[in-house]
Structure 1
Amino acid sequence: MKIEVLQEKLSKSLNISSRFVANRAQLPILNNVMLDGNKTKLSIYATNLEMSAVISIGSKVTTSGKITVPSRILTDIITNLSPGNVSLEAEKEQLKISAGSFNCNLMGINASDFPNVPSVLSKASFKLPYDLLLKALLKTLFCVSNDEARPILTGVLFVFGSSGLTLVATDGFRLSLKKIPFKTDIKDQRVVIPKNILLEISKLLKSDSLNVEFNEDSNQALFQFEDIVLSSRIIDGEFPDFEKIIPKSFEVTVNLGKEGFAQAVKLSSVFARESSNVIKLTIKKDGLTVSSESEKAGTQTSHLDAKVEGLTNDLVVAYNFRFIEEFLNVIEGEDVGIELTDSTSPGVFKDPKDPNFLHLIMPVKIQG
Structure 2
Amino acid sequence: MKLSFQKSNLLNGINIVSKAVPSKTTMPILECILIDATEEEIKLTANDMELAIETKVEGSILEKGKICIDAKLFSEIIRKLPDSEVIIEEKDEKIAILCEKANFSISGRRGDDFAYMPSVETDQYICLSQFTLKETIRQTIFSIAVNENNKLMTGELFEIEGNQLKVVSLDGHRISIRNVELKDSYEKKKVVVPGKTLIEISRILPGDADKDVYIFFSKNHILFEFDQTMVLSRLIEGEYFKIDQMISSDFETKITVNKKDILDSIERSVLLIRESDKKPIIMDIKEESMELSLNSVIGSMKEDILIHKKGKDILIGFNPRFLIDALRVIDDEEITIYMVNSKAPCFIRDEENQYIYLILPVNFNVSR
TM-score range, shorter chain: over 0.9
Paired residue secondary structure (1:17) = helix
**In the alignment, is the contact (CA less than 8 A) between 1:282 and 1:316 conserved in 2?**
yes
**In the alignment, is the contact (CA less than 8 A) between 1:163 and 1:181 conserved in 2?**
yes
Deviation for aligned residue 1:63: 2.2
Deviation for aligned residue 1:244: 0.8
Amino acid in structure 2 at the alignment position of 1:360: L
Amino acid in structure 2 at the alignment position of 1:342: N
**Distance in 1 separating the partners of 2:165 and 2:262:** 31
Paired residue secondary structure (2:186) = coil
**Gap change, CA 1:98 and 1:163, over 3 Å in 2:** closer
* Unaligned residue ranges in structure 2 (runs of 5+): none
Matched with 1:10 is: 10
Identity of aligned residues (%): 26
Once the two structures are superposed, residues 163-195 of structure 1 have per-residue CA deviations (whole angstroms, 9 ceiling, x without a partner) of 410111111101111111124442321111111
**Gap change, CA 1:317 and 1:213, over 3 Å in 2:** same
**In the alignment, is the contact (CA less than 8 A) between 1:331 and 1:351 conserved in 2?**
no
**What aligned pairs does 1:84-95 form with structure 2 within 5 A after superposition?**
84-95=84-95
**What aligned pairs does 1:287-302 form with structure 2 within 5 A after superposition?**
287-294=289-296, 296-302=297-303
**Distance in 2 separating the partners of 1:130 and 1:271:** 39
- 2:347 aligned with 1:344: no
Once the two structures are superposed, residues 117-137 of structure 1 have per-residue CA deviations (whole angstroms, 9 ceiling, x without a partner) of 147873544422332222221
**What aligned pairs does 1:131-150 form with structure 2 within 5 A after superposition?**
131-150=131-150
**What aligned pairs does 1:195-214 form with structure 2 within 5 A after superposition?**
195-206=195-206, 207=208, 208-214=211-217
**In the alignment, is the contact (CA less than 8 A) between 2:120 and 2:218 conserved in 1?**
no
TM-score of the two chains, using structure 1 as the length reference? 0.92
- 2:266 aligned with 1:262: no
**Distance in 1 separating the partners of 2:124 and 2:240:** 25
**Gap change, CA 1:225 and 1:118, over 3 Å in 2:** farther
Deviation for aligned residue 1:80: 1.4
* Unaligned residue ranges in structure 1 (runs of 5+): none
CA RMSD after TM alignment: 1.9
* Correspondent of 2:355 among 349, 354, 357: 357
**Distance in 2 separating the partners of 1:293 and 1:20:** 44
Amino acid in structure 2 at the alignment position of 1:243: D
Once the two structures are superposed, residues 328-365 of structure 1 have per-residue CA deviations (whole angstroms, 9 ceiling, x without a partner) of 1111111121100000110001256x641110100112
**Gap change, CA 1:244 and 1:125, over 3 Å in 2:** closer
Equivalences, count: 362
Amino acid in structure 2 at the alignment position of 1:317: I
**What aligned pairs does 1:264-279 form with structure 2 within 5 A after superposition?**
264-273=265-274, 275-279=277-281
**Distance in 2 separating the partners of 1:115 and 1:187:** 32
Matched with 1:252 is: 253
**Distance in 1 separating the partners of 2:179 and 2:16:** 30
**What aligned pairs does 1:169-184 form with structure 2 within 5 A after superposition?**
169-184=169-184
Paired residue secondary structure (2:293) = strand
- 2:233 aligned with 1:229: no
Amino acid in structure 2 at the alignment position of 1:236: E
Deviation for aligned residue 1:236: 0.8
- 2:324 aligned with 1:321: no
Paired residue secondary structure (1:231) = strand
